[in-house]
Amino acid sequence: MAEARNIDGVNGSGQKQVSTFGAVLDMVTDRISTACLLVILSQVYRPGMVFLSLLALDIGSHWLQMYSTFLLGKASHKDVKDSTNWLFKAYYGNRMFMAYCCVACEVLYISLFLLAQNETEKKLMDVLKASITEGSLVSVVVVLSLFGWAIKQLVNIIQMKTAADVCVLHDINKKERP
């Protein structure tokens, strides 16, 4: 059994403890579920590269974040209190905000899949325009999800750059040591 550490989350007794294995497994399952949705959407819509690019951003930014966390010796990839970016700190510092953004992202992808079932033309922008003018429940969900999705993508970009900077600085410092 993995050692319990104060990393991220709450166990059944209300104590803030999660195993390292559990924290990594949680991130991996999140990435896999998002990857499945994005790969399916890349086959349903044109241009499919939009969804594959989002997949690369999601996996790349999270991998770099985990790696930089390891290099810094931090217990959690969500420990960003030393970051200078206000959005990055707000995202990881407010669990409700982060949950909204993550759920909005997944809901948007599922909604896009549902919208494509009724369309003969599978161009992403055409389906989005048609669904918004139609005003269906799925269309409302898409519109409500767009803000959280956009914030999550911005955070992924910030996360990737911040983590890459940590990796580069680590390499530079390593070379300067005798």
List pLDDT tens digits, range 9-63: 544 444 454 677 787 788 889 999 999 999 999 999 988 999 999 999 999 999 9
Asked if the model's pLDDT at residue 105 lies above 70, the reply is yes
Q: Pick the catalytic residue: 8, 26, 30, 165?
A: 30
Range of the structural domain that residue 162 is part of: 4-176
Q: Is 82 a catalytic residue?
A: no
- Pull the structure tokens for residue 168: 């580069």
What's the predicted TM-score (pTM) here? 0.81
Percent of the chain with pLDDT over 90: 52
Of residues 165 and 120, the one with the higher pLDDT is 165
Helix runs in the chain, H state only:
20-44, 49-72, 86-93, 95-116, 124-134, 137-176
**How many domains does the chain fold into?**
1
